[in-house]
Chains A and B, each alone.
Chain A
Amino acid sequence: MSLFLRKWMVALTGLFLCIFLVVHLSANCILLLPEAVARGMYNAYSTLLRESPLIKVVAYALYLSIILHVVFALLVTIRNRRAKPTPYAVNHHGENSQWAAQNMGLIGIFILVFIVVHLANFWARIKLGMGEGVGLDAQGYVDVYAVTSSLFHNPYYVAFYSLLMIPLGFHLHHGLKSSLKTLGFYHRSGLRVLARVSLFYALIMSVGFGVIPIIVYFK
Chain B
Amino acid sequence: MRVRFRIWRQDNARVKGGFRDYEVDGLNEDMSLLEALDHLNEQLVLRDEKVVAFEYDCREGICGQCGVFVNGRAHGPHANMTTCQLHLRSFADGDTITIEPWRAAAFPVIKDLIVDRSAFDRIIRQGGYISAKTGTAPEANAIPVGKEVADRAMDAAACIGCGACVATCKNSSAALFTAAKINHLNTLPQGKPEQHRRVSDMVQQMEEEGFGHCSFTGACEVECPEGISVANIAEMNARYLKAKLFG
Give the interface of A toward B (CB within 8 A): 2-4, 6-7, 76, 79-80, 82-93, 95-98, 101-102, 104, 174, 177-178, 181-186, 188, 191
Contacts and interface: CB of A to CB of B under 8 A. Distances in A.
B72 interface: yes
Given A181-B233, A191-B234, A96 B73 contact: yes
B222 to A, nearest CB: 4
A181 B234 contact: yes
B73 A184 contact: no
B215 A90 contact: no
B100 A98 contact: no
B237 interface: yes
7 contacts: A80-B171, A83-B105, A97-B219, A104-B215, A178-B215, A182-B237, A184-B239
B79 interface: yes
A84 B100 contact: no
A125 B124 CA distance: 57
Interface string B96-113: 001010011110000000
A2 B207 contact: yes
Interface in B48-80: 69, 71-73, 77, 79
A80 B171 CA distance: 5
Contact of B206 (A3, A85, A177, A183): A3
A-B residue pairs, 6 tightest by C-beta: A184-B238, A83-B212, A92-B72, A186-B234, A80-B171, A96-B222
Contacts, number: 130
Given A83-B172, A83-B173, A88 B69 contact: yes
Nearest to A105: B215
Interface residues of B, number: 46
B149 interface: no
Interface in B173-231: 173, 203, 206-207, 210-219, 222-223, 229-231
A183 B237 contact: yes
B231 A191 contact: yes
Contacts of A186: 231-232, 234-235, 237-238
B170 A84 contact: yes
Contact of B216 (A4, A101, A184): A101
A181 B216 contact: yes
Contacts of B171: 79-80, 83-84
Contacts of B82: none
Given A80-B213, A90-B72, A92-B72, 19 more contacts: A2-B203, A3-B206, A80-B170, A80-B172, A80-B215, A83-B106, A84-B212, A89-B19, A90-B71, A91-B69, A93-B72, A98-B217, A98-B218, A102-B219, A183-B241, A185-B234, A186-B234, A186-B237, A186-B238
B100 A89 contact: yes
Given A90-B71, A184-B237, A97 B218 contact: yes
B238 A76 contact: no
B187 to A, nearest CB: 12
B5 interface: no
Contact of B105 (A6, A84, A88, A174): A84
Contacts of A188: 229, 231
A90 B74 CA distance: 11
B168 interface: yes
Contacts of A83: 104-106, 171-173, 210-212
Nearest to B238: A184
